[in-house]
Amino acid sequence: MYYVPDGTELCGYYECSDCDNRFLSLKVAPTLVCPYCGEEPNMEIGPDEEMPQIVESAKLIKMIEGEEEVEKMDALLSLAITGGDYNWL
């Protein structure tokens, strides 16, 4: 498994509207901070500095349920990342 641990039975399938990356995440929410182009909040910023804007650009496309389904999506997405055959769309 590439995105989620072995045995995961429920995860979210996301697509980023900024960088077009697709990925799976154990976090399930309508939108997420993109792990590729987004930035998690930086808690070490001083009080005088401007808060960076957190953009949740990755949108939930669908929930993937069932260990087999999760494993299948994970494999397909990993293949796309590693330059394999991704004519599955």
Q: How far is the CB of 16 from Zn ion (least distance, A)?
A: 3
> How many CB atoms are located within 10 Å of the residue 50 CB?
6
**Closer CB to Zn ion, residue 1 or residue 19?**
19
Q: How far is the CB of 42 from Zn ion (least distance, A)?
A: 18
> How many CB atoms are located within 10 Å of the residue 78 CB?
15
Q: Which residues of this chain interact with Zn ion, rule CB under 5 A?
A: 16, 18-19, 34, 36-37
Closest-CA residue to 35 (of 52, 10, 11, 18): 18
Cβ proximity of 86 and 79 under 8 Å: yes
**Closer CB to Zn ion, residue 33 or residue 64?**
33
Q: How far is the CB of 33 from Zn ion (least distance, A)?
A: 9
**Closer CB to Zn ion, residue 21 or residue 69?**
21
Read off the tokens for 68.
């087999």
